[in-house]
Amino acid sequence: MQKPTIAGVGFTKITAHWKQSLKDLASEAAVKALNDAGNPEINAIIVGNMLSGIINGQENLGSLVAESIGLSGVSSVKIEAACASGSAAVMWACLSVLSDLFDSVLVVGVEKMTDVTDNEDVTSALATAADYDYEVFFGATFPSLNAMIMRSYAKTYNLSPEDFGYLPILMHKNAVDVSHAQLRFPIDMDGYLNSPMVSDPLKLFDCAPIGDGAAALVITKKDGAKNSDHLVEIAGFGSATDTLATYRREDLSRLRAAELATTRALSMAGLESKDFDIVQIHDAFSVIGYLNLEALGIVERGKAHEFVASGDAERSGALPVNPEGGLKARGHPVGATGVYQIAELALQLSDRAGPSQIENPNVGVAMNVGGTGSNVFVHILRRVE
């Protein structure tokens, strides 16, 4: 059985797009991906998005995107899985191609988060990824829930504030020369430690920024691809869930759903964690990035900070992590993030990543986390020779 194949990639810069609408961003990314794939016939469109109904007053994105790119009449739906909406859309596109239901599927992840007048509005919108009745109703915010995880993790493994700074420092370093990244400036440890406290112990530089952006992929089968010079195979994928409410988990210092999703993706791909050449982690918060590395089987629990501090996660290191800056610095338009991650991997594995290109990667993995770990998707990509 042929594996799903990425034939085309497209995305927008992540920033505050004041002059572009949700539809404009989705269309731009979609057209770029279609052109990159040689403009194949598209049988279906799957849109990943989390917040359009709350922030933009727009649902029914399947029809919106199809019409905006001249494909009205094509089957098209929106999928939502909180911050993992983008990778959820990719997984369902893969299933559609594997089942022979559709030959070629366009995946579009899009989010426009700056169309609000108050940051509290965005915070409230993001909190819909948590348990409303037992967390949000009593005042919990998404940053405060992640701060609780960070506090538990630091206590369990006796980590200092500096230990959490290594990841955001690396992400900002990676983003400096990436044209589509949102935060293209370096930070150092003093800057990290002195950044404002958001929710103790979570600092401003532990948190990914708010931004607008869209990314798109054309997923098909190798035999049906028009352009064969930059194909990348989706060798395996897996998803899993955990309790929606963070407080109901037995251990706050691990992501159980992420571990399960990784096991399932590796099994489908017939690979092991040691086979990874490049990693895309979901570093919406520094501690979640560390938990990703541990759930992927790359490092022992409690040792992620040592791995990043050692230099092994650098572009030139033993296992590069988020060479374009990750959620922390490339940006995190939540419903689009999973598609960005997979698009970045596809470019790396076809040697088209520009300044962030690492040396000769063959296998890459992307982990996309919904909520505080309640819905996780893992995709493993492999170079097509």
What's residue 120's pLDDT?
A: 65
251 and 283 housed in the same domain: yes
**Final residue belonging to a domain, choices 198, 224, 250:** 224
pLDDT tens track for 237-255: 999 999 999 999 999 999 9
> Same domain, yes or no, for 174 and 38?
no
Q: Tell me: do 13 and 129 sit in the same domain.
A: no
- Say yes or no: 142 and 177 in one domain: yes
- Over residues 273-313, the pLDDT tens digits come to 999 999 999 999 999 999 999 999 999 999 999 999 999 99
Number of domains present in the structure of the chain: 2
Q: Please tell me whether residues 84 and 138 are part of one structural domain.
A: no
State the pTM of this model: 0.97
In a 3-state reduction of DSSP, which class is residue 136? helix
Based on the domain organization, do 344 and 244 belong to the same domain? yes
User: Residues 155, 74: one domain?
Assistant: no
Please give the C-alpha separations between residue 55 and each of 58, 192, 199, 349, in angstroms, as whole numbers: 8, 30, 24, 35
Gap between the Cα atoms of 178 and 184, Å rounded: 7
> Which CATH number does the domain housing residue 8 bear?
3.40.47.10
pLDDT in tens, 305-357: 999 999 999 999 999 999 999 999 999 999 999 999 999 999 999 999 999 99
Residues 6+ apart with CB under 8 A from 316: 358, 359
Exactly one of 83, 94, 230, 379 is catalytic; name it: 83
Known catalytic residue: 332? yes
CB 47 within 8 A of CB 89: yes
Parent domain of 147: 125-208+233-383
66 and 186 in a common domain: no
- For residues 101 and 161, membership in a common domain is answered with no
Tokens of 15: 């920033």
Q: Which of 191, 224, 257 is the last residue of a domain?
A: 224
If asked whether residues 106 and 18 sit together in one domain, one would say yes
Catalytic residue among 17, 230, 282, 332: 332
Q: Are residues 40 and 156 in the same domain?
A: no
Let me know whether 200 and 214 are in one domain.
no
